[in-house]
Amino acid sequence: LQTTVLFLCPQDLYTAPDSCQGRCEEPYNEEDECHCNAECERHHSCCEDYYTYCSPERFSSSHDAIMDQDLLHISEQLYKADHNKAQPTDIAINPQRQVSPDETGDREDHSPEPLYRYVNEKLFSKPTYASFIKLLDNYQRATGREEDVTAEELKEQDNFLREVMKTELMKKLFTFLHKKNRYDSEQEFVADLKQMWFGLYSRGNGEQDSSGFEHVFSGEVKKGKVSGFHNWIRFYLLEKQGLVDYFSHSYNGPWNTYPDVLGMQFSWDGFYKEVGSAFIGSSPEFEFGLYSLCFIARPGRACHLSLGGHSLSIQTYTWTKSTYGNGRNYIATAYVVSS
């Protein structure tokens, strides 16, 4: 008898846990890092290469698919609907020294003056701003320390969601996602926003110490470095208190009005942030809405948008170590990138 020996490459024997190669329509398993069946888009749990390996032609051309062109169109709509954004006379910034990408880790303060020369704080009395600011002091910034969420803080979360959902911007976002069959009702949408943004998970020591909102908007400190912290209002308020020291910027967006985009280096109580990208002058609902859109439409991938005719991308990542509901993912992070 002649024996035939088959030599298989490692990739023939092993499927990466974060890939859909060979896993299309695989039944849901909560232990999987990400998923590859048709429901993963609805649950924001698709692997990054889901569209490469699994998205069938019938779906990619169907009414429910969120195409790249759809994202460009809806982002322009949201941009135009940001009625609460800062006007040119509301903010004056002083970016000072721009550093090259290979200088961002130097930890040198190249800018002796604060970033913000002036902010019209009347902006902060607008309902979405006021409800947003109340959330910022609800967190312990150190990872590994459990968050103690009070009844008052839960009310503040609900109030923020209620206020942003009154805006034209968030109503347009819901209408878009409803037409794409992501949510059946506004109530379902708001409930999911609350979980994906405010639901707690563990970044360290097994404690319920973090959430997407805390990480992205308030900022955290992990292993001696600033983690997250991508919000201009938070930055301004802490800089005004002398708790944030602006060092430099490595990117300045192409806008000559607001929202602008800045990639910053700074120190927060002695903890360093190498690149903290942020919109400048946008309303809370604008950032919240754009990040939510990209997390829902392109979880774990660059999400290409258009704002006032300028190209821009948002990067999101899912938290894969725990889920909520029927396998839905929390937001690990979301931030704006330059192109």
What residues are annotated to the active site? Answer: 215, 230, 273
| CA 173/CA 165 separation, integer angstroms | 10
Which of 119, 108, 91, 93 minimizes the C-alpha distance to 248? 108
| CA 225/CA 222 separation, integer angstroms | 5
